[in-house]
Amino acid sequence: MQNKKTFFGFAVADSMFPNSCIIDRTSLSVEQVKEHIEAGVIPCFNASHEATVFAMNSRFGINLEIPEVPPRVSLNPGDSVIVMGVRGLPRLTDRRHYSFEEISSATFVFSIYTVR
């Protein structure tokens, strides 16, 4: 039997999913996200997301390593991707990190997309 994979990132892309599939999307609490992380997730973000990873750690105590080379996400039946959606953080153009106030006022939502 194939091992089920769970990726963790900040967005979904059509290319992650098989050509034809059914996808279940479920909201997750921070506690549920931490349980998935403890069970093992594959981070699929890159160095350009450093400030967002820092914001996630500051706000929720979730710290995932940024891989040197992000994996190509190709989901098969039973595989999942956890996505942290963020609203309210400005684009960083002249600095590398968000302020405490920006992180505190932003809205973070976690969802898991699972291929049936």
Which pLDDT tens digit goes with each residue over 10-36?
999 999 999 999 999 999 999 999 999
Q: What is the mean pLDDT of residues 97-107?
A: 86
CA 109 centroid distance within chain:
10
- Please report, for the chain, the start and end positions of each structural domain, with discontinuous segments joined by +: 6-115
Domain made up of 6-115: CATH architecture: 3-Layer(aba) Sandwich (3.40)
**pLDDT, tens digit, for every residue of 38-83?**
999 999 998 888 888 988 998 999 999 999 999 999 999 999 999 9
pTM: 0.88
Do the bridges between strand 80-87 and strand 6-9 make them parallel or antiparallel, or are there none, so unpaired? parallel
For position 1, what pLDDT does the model report? Answer: 47
Q: Distance (Å, rounded) from C-alpha 59 to C-alpha 3?
A: 31
